[in-house]
Structure 1
C-alpha cells in the first residue's frame, strides 16, 4: 500500500467513524445507562472496566469478528447476506437490535458519498459492523485499521455516554480513552485474524442491562 493510499484510507475511516458522521450513534448507550442507574459502575475506573469488558469479551468483540467477515466478503453477495443475517440474529435485546440496524442503515446511506458497488450487494437493512466492514473492504481498507477505528469510535461513544450520565468528567473520559488504547490495538489485531468461529461473549451483566433498559422510565438514551 502506498503512502497516498494509506492516507486516503485513514481519512475515510476518520470521516466514517467520526462523531459527526450522520448515523445517530450519540443516541445510544448500549445498556450503559441502565448499568449506571443500577449502581453497577461508578467513577472513571468503573467506566473503564465496563468498557474494557465489552470490547474484550462482549458485543464489541463480536462486532469486530462480524466486521472482519464482512470486509473479507465485500465482493460476495452470498457471504454478505449470510453474515448480515447472523449479525442481526446475534443482537441480544430489542434495543440492541434497533441500535445496530439503525446505525447500519444510516451508515450505508451516508457512505454513499463514496460510491461503491458493494452497496448493491448488501441487504436492504444491515447491522452496523457488517455495513462498516463491507464498505471498508470495497475501498481496500485493511481489516486491522477498520476494526481499530470502529472499536475506537465505539469506546468514544460509551465514554461520551458516561460523561453525560455523570460517571466521569471530560478529562477523566479522555483518560479512559487513553488507558484503553493498548486493548483496542490488541483486539483489533485479534479481530483481523478472526473467523466466525471466534464469535462469543461473556458479559452477562452488560447483556442484562441492555434488556432492563427497555423498561427503564426516565432515560437519556435509546438503549
Structure 2
C-alpha cells in the first residue's frame, strides 16, 4: 500500500471520477431521494449519519470490497467475470441493479479513451465498482488510493443529490464531506486488505428506501 501515485496516474484517476466524466452519475441517488421523501433525512447531520452507515455497513462497503477484488484480479478474465456477476447479484433492488450496471457500462465506454487490454477482459455486464477497480489496477494506481478516490466521488454524488433535494445547503454539504474524510481513508485502507469473505451489510433502512423508490410517482432521480 505504499506505492507512489505518479502524476499521470493521478490525472487519469481525477478524470475518471470527475463529475464531468460521461457516465451520468448525477441521475442517481441510490435510494437517498426516497429516504428524504419518507422523512428519514431532514438535515446535514442526518445525511452524514446516513452516508457513514452505508460506508461502514451498507452498499458502499460492499462496493469497496468488489472494487478491491477486481483490482487484484485485473489479469484474470474468468475471475473478473465472477466478481462482476457477484456484484450484480448483490444489488438489493431493480433500481440499484440498473444504477450499478448502467454506470459500469458507461464507465467502460468512456475509459476506452485510454486503451488497455483490461477492457477486453471485463465482461459486458459489469457493475460500476468492478469496472473502476479493474481499470485503476491496469493503469498502476494503488488500491487504497484508487478506493479513496472512488468512495469520495460516490459520497460527493450523494451529498450533491441531498443538496438538490433540499436536505442541506452547499456550505453544509461541504462540511459533511470534510467530516467524512477520515472515515473514507479508514475504510479505503480496510477494504484494500479485505476479501470477499468480508462482504455483508446491515443498512436495512437504506435497502428499503431503494426498493420503495421504484414506486415513487414524482422524483428527480432514477434510483
Which category describes the TM-score, using the shorter chain as reference length? over 0.9
Structure 1 unaligned spans of 5+: none
Distance 1:150 1:170 in 2: 21
Please tell me whether the aligned partners of residues 52 and 180 of structure 2 are also in contact (alpha carbons under 8 angstroms). yes
Distance 2:50 2:186 in 1: 17
SS at match of 1:64: helix
Residues 92-103 of structure 1: pairs in structure 2 closer than 5 A: 92-103=92-103
TM-score, normalising length from structure 1? 0.97
Q: Deviations over 1:183-221 (max 9, x none)?
A: 000000001001000111110000000000000010000
Aligned residues: 222
Aligned residue number for residue 86 of structure 2: 86
What RMSD, in angstroms, separates the aligned Cα atoms of the two structures?
A: 1.1
Q: CA deviation at 1:108?
A: 0.4
Displaced runs of 4+ in structure 1, greater than 4 A? none
Q: Does 1:176 align with 2:176?
A: yes
Distance 1:165 1:70 in 2: 33
Q: CA deviation at 1:99?
A: 0.1
Q: CA deviation at 1:124?
A: 1.2
Aligned residue number for residue 189 of structure 1: 189
Q: Does 1:110 align with 2:121?
A: no
TM-score, normalising length from structure 2? 0.97
Q: Deviations over 1:157-201 (max 9, x none)?
A: 000000000000000000000000000000000010010001111
Please tell me whether the aligned partners of residues 3 and 142 of structure 2 are also in contact (alpha carbons under 8 angstroms). no
Distance 2:33 2:80 in 1: 32
Distance 1:2 1:187 in 2: 18
Aligned residue number for residue 76 of structure 1: 76
Structure 2 unaligned spans of 5+: none
Q: CA deviation at 1:2?
A: 8.2
